[in-house]
């Protein structure tokens, strides 16, 4: 595959491409070989101020966007879906090139994304309040109204998916947005901004400012005219964002912050299914997925057999250039993440976990790490406690469901959980008591745009997707009208 052409590298404000006020740019890389792909405009506070001002103008009550019929918003979002489909192959290649995502995976994500867009678009004209019986002759009803200008701060691990989830939900609700893509992967967000303009989104409704967290990101979270931040990324930055909201204007905050998700394999599970599911739950996208099943609890009766099969499976995964059609496992996003993951692998070995597959960097160029399997992992080890965000499967042993529920919940995270079993009692007990925003049974990592997604505990605040995801961009207003004849 020849390198996809990079069409956009500037800041997008009011449907125009502009340089950073400072004139600065930063390099963006290809994690396959570390080469520089392009220089991208580096937005900072001055650029965020301009973008927020544009979004504020576009949110004025007399603006084209605010006067647009909700059914028309639905058409515009759907048109964006059509354009995504038209450019799907180009966008998949650009995502793979800038992020290291395996091309087939990027294609699959984009196809799912189009369904997602259709669903969210269908909600745009179904935002409705209630009429409420109150005090006899007080006619009372609720309006659900867009919150205002929203700051959307994206992670690097799913640039297109994250852009689409957040932007489309905000647009369906009638908000205007300033997007800050991750510094590692700005290119697809810029390409999507161009598609939104082509779809008919009026100027100022969607603005995209590439840049770094402490500059552009922090300016957005402290901005007095930003009414809400939706963020996906680390717990550390999630906490900073809540602090910024508190220190500025109490802007609303939705946070999705990763996890240390438990996947439990009971002794009655079908191993021919459980082994490949468990592997994909941690090795997909090189482990760079917030819901990765990074604590794999296997029942003691089947432990040895499971571990043997898990190791065999990991060794079959084909590592290579993510743009090649047969590759299953590409590079980590950058050198920093690669080094961090290799550090966790060293800790795993030092703290006594048994390394049975992988464990090393592949070659000397690019950011490749072998799919790695550790057995005999115990709850107190660093690799069982901290989010690694890499291709490291940690297999722990347990004896009873009661025990494993307590151990699964013994973490500050609570994003996802899974169980493989054929016993309905196990399913009911586990799904009721595990502390997680999503629980999968005899499957893992399956999504639908209709289902709310988010975390318990430090895995986040609020939900994305489903009707809840659009509600997160709405304020409820109560209107009470005196109907009394005795005025």
Please identify which residue in 217, 322, 418, 462 interacts with ligand NAI, judged by CB under 6 A. Answer: 217
Supply 230's token pair.
């939706």
Stretch that binds ligand NAI, among 84-92, 154-162, 353-361, 362-370 (CB under 6 A): 154-162
- Binding flag, residue 129, ligand NAI (CB under 6 A): no
CA distance 383 to 179: 33
Q: Which residue, 215, 267, 214, 260, is CA-closest to 237?
A: 214
- Binding flag, residue 78, ligand NAI (CB under 6 A): no
Per CB under 6 A, which of residues 250..279 are in contact with ligand NAI? 256-258
DSSP notation for 201-225: PPTTSEEE--B-IIIIIHHHHH-TT
- Binding flag, residue 188, ligand NAI (CB under 6 A): no
In the bound state with ligand NAI, the residue whose beta carbon lies nearer, of 218 and 327, is 218
- Binding flag, residue 384, ligand NAI (CB under 6 A): no
CA distance 433 to 428: 9
Q: Which residue, 8, 14, 196, is CA-closest to 94?
A: 8
Q: Which residue, 256, 61, 48, 260, is CA-closest to 169?
A: 256
Per DSSP, the three-state class of 311 is helix
Instruction: Say whether 346 is catalytic.
Output: no
375-381: long-range contacts, CB 8 A cutoff, minimum separation 24: 375/307, 376/352, 377/295, 377/348, 377/353, 378/352, 378/353, 379/407, 379/410, 381/347, 381/348, 381/351, 381/352, 381/353
> What residues contact residue 6 under an 8 Å CB cut-off, 6+ apart?
37, 38, 94, 187
In the bound state with ligand NAI, the residue whose beta carbon lies nearer, of 232 and 426, is 232
Please identify which residue in 180, 223, 285, 295 interacts with ligand NAI, judged by CB under 6 A. Answer: 180
Least distance between ligand NAI and beta carbon 213 (Å) = 2
> Would you say 70 and 127 are in contact if contact means Cβ atoms under 8 Å apart?
yes
Instruction: Say whether 290 is catalytic.
Output: yes
Least distance between ligand NAI and beta carbon 65 (Å) = 25
Supply 166's token pair.
């957040």
- Binding flag, residue 387, ligand NAI (CB under 6 A): yes
In the bound state with ligand NAI, the residue whose beta carbon lies nearer, of 116 and 309, is 116
- Binding flag, residue 465, ligand NAI (CB under 6 A): no
Please identify which residue in 93, 207, 221, 393 interacts with ligand NAI, judged by CB under 6 A. Answer: 221
In the bound state with ligand NAI, the residue whose beta carbon lies nearer, of 165 and 303, is 165
Task: Select which of 183, 256, 387, 464 is catalytic.
Answer: 256
Per CB under 6 A, which of residues 401..460 are in contact with ligand NAI? none
Task: Select which of 150, 290, 323, 367 is catalytic.
Answer: 290
Which residues are part of the catalytic machinery? Answer: 256, 290
Give the interface with ligand NAI as residue ranges (CB under 6 A).
153-157, 180, 182-183, 212-214, 217-218, 221, 232-234, 237, 240, 256-258, 290, 387, 389
């Amino acid at each position: 595959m020849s390198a996809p052409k990079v069409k956009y590298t500037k800041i997008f404000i009011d449907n125009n491409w502009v340089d950073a006020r400072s004139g600065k740019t930063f390099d963006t890389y290809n994690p396959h070989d570390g080469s520089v792909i392009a220089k991208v405009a580096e937005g900072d506070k001055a650029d965020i101020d301009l973008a927020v001002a544009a979004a504020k103008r576009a949110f004025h009550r007399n603006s084209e966007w605010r006067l647009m019929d909700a059914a028309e918003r639905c058409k515009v979002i759907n048109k964006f879906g059509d354009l995504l489909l038209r450019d799907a192959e180009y966008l998949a290649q650009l995502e793979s090139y800038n992020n290291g995502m395996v091309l087939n995976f990027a294609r699959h994500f984009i196809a799912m994304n189009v369904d997602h867009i259709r669903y969210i678009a269908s909600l745009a004209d179904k935002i409705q309040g209630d009429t409420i019986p109150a005090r006899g002759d007080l006619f009372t009803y609720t309006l659900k109204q867009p919150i205002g200008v929203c700051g959307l701060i994206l992670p690097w691990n799913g640039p297109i998916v994250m852009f689409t989830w957040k932007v489309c939900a905000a647009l369906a609700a009638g908000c205007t947005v300033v997007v800050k893509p991750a510094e590692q992967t700005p290119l697809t967000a810029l390409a999507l901004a161009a598609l939104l303009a082509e779809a008919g989104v009026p100027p100022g409704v969607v603005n995209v400012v590439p840049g770094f967290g402490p500059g552009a990101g922090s300016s957005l979270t402290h901005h007095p005219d930003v009414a809400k931040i939706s963020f996906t990324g680390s717990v550390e930055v999630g906490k900073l964002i809540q602090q910024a909201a508190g220190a500025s204007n109490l802007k609303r905050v939705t946070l999705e912050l990763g996890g240390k998700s438990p996947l439990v394999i009971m002794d009655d599970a079908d191993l021919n299914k459980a082994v490949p599911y468990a592997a994909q739950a941690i090795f997909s996208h090189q482990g760079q997925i917030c819901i990765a099943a990074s604590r794999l609890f296997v029942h003691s009766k089947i432990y040895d057999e499971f571990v043997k099969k898990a190791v065999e499976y990991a060794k079959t995964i084909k590592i290579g250039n993510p743009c090649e059609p047969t590759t299953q496992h590409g590079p980590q996003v950058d050198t920093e993440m690669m080094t961090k993951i290799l550090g966790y692998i060293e800790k795993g070995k030092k703290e006594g976990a048994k390394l049975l597959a992988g464990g090393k960097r592949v070659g000397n160029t690019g950011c490749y790490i072998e799919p790695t399997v550790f057995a005999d992992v115990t709850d107190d080890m660093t690799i069982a406690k901290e989010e690694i965000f890499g291709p490291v499967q940690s297999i722990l042993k347990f004896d009873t469901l009661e025990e494993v529920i307590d151990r699964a919940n013994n973490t500050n995270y609570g994003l996802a959980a899974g169980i493989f079993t054929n016993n309905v009692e196990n399913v009911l007990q586990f799904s009721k008591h595990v502390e997680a925003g999503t629980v999968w049974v005899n499957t893992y990592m399956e999504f639908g745009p209709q289902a709310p997604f988010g975390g318990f505990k430090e895995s986040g605040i609020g939900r994305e997707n489903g009707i809840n995801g659009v509600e997160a961009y709405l304020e409820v207003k109560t209107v009470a009208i005196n109907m009394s004849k005795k005025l």
